[in-house]
Structure 1
Amino acid sequence: MKYTNPIIKGFNPDPSICRVGDDYYLVTSTFEYFPGIPVYHSTDLVNWVQIGNCIERPEQLPFEMAEPDKGIWAPTIRYLNGKFYVTAKFMGVGNFIVSSNNPASGWSDPVTVNIGGIDPSILFDGGRAYYCTNARGEDTRESISAVEINADTGEMLSDIKQIWHGDCNDKPQYLESPHIYHINGWYYLTAAEGGTGQNHMITCARSKNIWGPYENCPNNPILTNRYDSTKDVACSGHGDFVEDKNGNWWCVHLATRPDDEWYSHMGRETFLLPVVWQDEWPVIADRKSHIEYDTPLLWNKQCTKKIWTADFTKIESKWLFLRKPVSENYIVSGGNVSLKLAAVKISDETGAPTMMLIRQPDIECTVTAETDFVPQNDSDEAGVAVYISNKGYYTFSKLRRNTKDYIVIAKNGSGFAPISREVENGRLTLKIEASKKSYDFYYAVNGGEYIHAGSAPVLTRADAGKCFTGTLIGIFAQCENRTEAQMTVFDFKTEI
């Protein structure tokens, strides 16, 4: 049966996966966005639905201090005796663990694990819990270090020991994303090397003892697209293994769908590849990732066409906010959501603008939002945003200037296209059609025909700067001075 990568499209880097019976659970990184660490659920590995977030309460972590590209990095999810454990790094704070009996909600407050490094992982083995990161020790080479812990309290129960220096012992580069698996008497240690760019890869080693010594896999790297010139897939690495209900093994990993300059405005997405075992070593597909894969091991057909309509009787789990949201700026009532205009701009590196975002659902997609927003003061503005970072975004909005209201397309807060035209008050529908290379912006008033307001190229590396995230699309409301204006959104829909 054929399936198509990515299995979870849009900004979903650093995937980690576990299985409980017939159910699979997967988490990814969220950086400066709240809520943090989405939890996806599947029964077949190719059709995934977000069911919650591990960091679901602002008081769990200090999101107000999350700078661009900081916040939460690289979670790992594991399961033991009826409880789920997720560990990750909050940059500037440290490594932590949260737990819950229900992966959809009720996650605990974080407990701290006082070991350095990033990309933490947990192995439950023989009644003990082992924790590993890429922490360095007295040997200053890049390394993977491990320590025995109490997973419920974060207490370290042993000394920290460096156990592996990667496949390039003399000069390991960006040795990250360690995971340890105990399979058929061997401890397998996988990691990412080469950095999360074109040289990204997964390497592997094994030992009969969790503390080592580890021997390198003779076929390293076991996954990379760095030699692939097709530009269909790039940056493959940072993976996690899972055994399915039928005894077959799989690897979820991050990768991108790059443009001609090897950049992806979608960000790093979640891919899936089958794993077989040869000479007691894991072999991932043909050691590189593909968009399409045909395998007899899957049991359900993948659904690739999807329509999602926001349920504004609540704030659903897929909505994301920059840093710590100001809760009173979002009012859910009567099946609609109202956004209070805030003086914090979406271009600001700190603070919490009034903005609700979802991951762009695919390269080609349509997004519509319906509102009756009426500005009250000059510079009152609200509408739809296409956002990668505070340095790279588009706004498609209704804006008051000199007491008149206009439809405006802007790039990074300044005029990108001429003001389309003065617009009358009434029910306003904003529509964005996304393609591989551009966005087209349309609007309609009171159910009338759509008017093409303009086009813009997708955001590039030069626009967004160096960032680890991807494109998000959503609604925003901002102002220069105090205002009582609100944007009420009646409908928000995506289609791929």
Structure 2
Amino acid sequence: MASSAIAAPRTAQFSNFVYEGSDPSDAIKAGPGQYRNPVVQGFYPDPSVTRAGKDFYLVNSTFAWFPGLPVFHSTDLVHWEQIGNAIDRPGMLDFKRLGLSRAVFAPAIQAHQGMFYILNTCVDCGGNYLITAKDPKGPWSDPVWLPKVGGIDPSIFFDDEDGGGRVWIVNNDGPPGPPEYPGHRALWIHEYDPKTQTTVGPATLLLDKGVDPATKPIWPEGPHILKKDGWYYLTAAEGGTAEGHSQVVLRSKSVTGPYVPYTNNPILTQRDLPRDRPLPITSAGHADIVDTPDGKWWATFLAVRPYGDDLYNTGRETFLLPVEWKDGWPVILENGKTIPYVADAPKLPALKTAPTSGPFKAAETFEGPELPMSWMTMRIPSKRWWSVKDGTLSLEARKDRVGGHEQPSIWARRQQHMNASVSTTVRFDPKADGDKAGLVAVQNDDFYWFVGLVQAGGKTLVRVEKRTSSKDPLDGAVVAEKPVSLKSGQSLDLKIAARGGALDFAYATAPGQWQTLKADADGTTLSTKVAGGFVGTMLGVYAHGVEE
């Protein structure tokens, strides 16, 4: 318990924030020289990777959470340390009141001659843009918009070797004619002039529909071009981001095509495996391929780990597998094989950093002056309503709320394990009915859970609330509550524990004296299958006040 202190009016103070998690797959032990999948657990989808010398850099999608587009560094592709966020300043983008699965989709990072490039799409908030940095830690430039590059998922390719130094952008967009079926899309290429920061000439069609048009393939996306041994390789995801997800490859002697598909596509998928297999990994795709200093090749990609019938709360995660070149084609995983939880690691020097895979515990001390880089808030704040110092995170209890497509007083970190708990100590003195402060588990505005202090009917209560559909009250429906009597300045401990699809909520007025407020709540409402969208569950702290 934190020491007693009186929080400022309309301010909630949080301390002793502890996250802890584990998974059933932890029973599969990694031996010397091996690594665990996923390499970055939790809501880290759409991984894109690049190499600069002996160093690797990775970025992921964050949609309408801010700061966005986390940038990771590694020396061995297994141990990753977050070094920045590419979208870290209000004013770079405007997420407005967008749903949490809109805004910044799949980023693509590329290192080239001492400069780093990220291409990205801000869906419903500007379109495709490019940002650059000399140091991947940042600061990253303000966006340069690409009005002639439509659709989503742009990436950049520098054709230095026998390509005359020309630069190209490849992306997903609509087909050359009217769509013939839902999900009918195409891949296009545009020449790009870095000096004028504009595209040059018309776009060229690379792939319509997919590698086998007769099967009506859906959503070719996340395209990348790499060059090896005189061949240009076009890799892309196909089949949508659910269980039908896959990765395919084509090649050509010319960067603009025509591209011929690999006979044994897809080069990565889990869609044809038995659904009742133990500890399944599903929905694999959206890969990016990189070479290593020792001449090997590896792929990062997204996949999910369901705990039931396609149920997962942890979102889409970052996995790693070696790439084997077979008769001039890159193969990530032969058809019919399962993605391993444990595999032989790259023979590269490891980076010493906090774990992002396997069982672990992370305690945040809030020493300040800023929050950890991995913490995010919903949409983009227009002012600073929080402070971090001396072991305390203070949040103004503002009128914006979770559930209202607003920018509420919330800071959160990802749920990274199937079985996870988060606990904190809060000091809050609610003044009016509707004031509240505590812990939240958020999937989106329509699907979240809350446990904390509230005022209702003039009384202070500890309460569990939920929002499990757009029809529920914006402030959440009451699930359980108890009166609680706290002395002036006295703190309250709170805990949320996730066990697959079940949630437990507890509180304590004295250290270690936990009382269960609600057990076995339906946590499947935080799964992607129920809540929809592309994000994962975020666990964090929240304060709301009916007046300001």
Q: TM-score, normalised by structure 1?
A: 0.92
* Structure 1 residues 362 and 259: alpha-carbon distance in aligned structure 2, compared to 1, 3 A threshold: closer
Partner of 2:480: 418
How big is the shift at 1:327?
A: 2.9
- In structure 2, the partner of 1:223 is 268
CA contact (8 A) 2:528 2:536 kept: no
- Paired residue for 1:211? 256
Residue in 1 that maps onto 2:11: none
Q: Which of 509, 524, 527 pairs up with 1:459?
A: 524
Aligned mates of 1:355, 1:128 — CA distance in 2: 45
Amino acid at match of 1:308: A
Amino acid at match of 1:315: L
- Report whether the alignment pairs 1:40 with 2:104: no
CA change 1:152–1:379 in 2 (3 A) is: farther
Measure the CA separation in 2 of the matches of 1:312 and 1:103: 25
Superposed CA RMSD in Å reads 2.0
Contact 1:39–1:54 (CA under 8 A) maintained in structure 2: yes
Kindly indicate whether residue 198 of structure 2 is the aligned counterpart of residue 155 of structure 1.
Answer: yes
> 1:434 matched to which residue of 2?
498
Q: CA deviation at 1:462?
A: 8.4
Alignment counterpart, residue 409 of structure 2, candidates 337, 354, 379 = 354
Match of 1:488 in 2: none
Task: Establish whether residue 104 from structure 1 lines up as the match of residue 158 from structure 2.
Answer: no
Q: Distance in 1 between matches of 2:523 and 2:82?
A: 26
Task: State the distance in 1 between where 2:530 and 2:242 align.
Answer: 16
Q: Which residue of 2 is the match for residue 79 of structure 1?
A: 111
1:276 is aligned to 2:324:
yes
Which structure is higher in RCO with an 8 Å CA cutoff and minimum separation 6? 2
Q: CA deviation at 1:163?
A: 1.4
Superposed CA deviations along residues 127-148 of structure 1, whole A, max 9, x for unmatched, are 2211010123534463210011
Give the deviation of 1:422 after TM superposition.
2.3
- In structure 1, the residue matched to 2:62 is 30
In structure 2, do the counterparts of structure 1 residues 199 and 462 end up closer, same or farther at CA, with 3 Å as the change threshold? closer
Question: Could you tell me how far 1:43 is from its partner in structure 2?
Answer: 1.5
SS in structure 1 of the partner of residue 309 of structure 2: coil
| Corresponding residue of 1:129 | 167
Distance (Å, rounded) in 2 between the aligned partners of 1:373 and 1:361: 28
Structure 1 residues 140 and 250, CA gap change in structure 2 (3 angstroms):
farther
Residues 427-467 of structure 1 deviation map (CA, whole Å, 9 limit, x = unaligned)? 21212222223222222224352222222232335885321
The answer to whether structure 1 residue 363 and structure 2 residue 418 are counterparts is yes
Instruction: Return the offset for 1:251.
Output: 0.9
Is 1:478 the counterpart of 2:544? The answer is yes
Kept after mapping to 2: 8 A contact 1:254/1:271: yes
* Contiguous gaps of at least 5 residues in structure 2: 1-32, 180-184, 468-474
Identity over the aligned pairs, expressed in percent? 34
Task: Mark the CA change 1:28 to 1:296 in structure 2 (over 3 Å): closer, same or farther.
Answer: closer
- The unaligned stretches of length 5 or more in structure 1 are 484-496
Moved more, 228-237 or 80-89: 228-237
Look up the match of 2:392: 336
Partner Cα distance (1:285, 1:434) in 2: 32
Shift of residue 31 of structure 1?
Answer: 0.7
Q: Is 1:407–1:423's contact at 8 Å kept on the other side of the alignment?
A: no
Count of equivalent residues: 481
Give a deviation string over 1:25-51, Cα, whole Å, max 9, x none: 111111111111111111121111211
Q: What residue number does 1:376 align with?
A: 431
Residue type matched to 2:339 in 1? H
Matched, 1:394 2:449: yes
Alpha-carbon separation, structure 1, partners of 2:196 and 2:47: 24
Question: What's the counterpart of residue 534 of structure 2?
Answer: 468
Whether the 8 Å contact between 2:77 and 2:346 is mirrored in structure 1 is no
Report SS of the residue matched to 1:459: helix
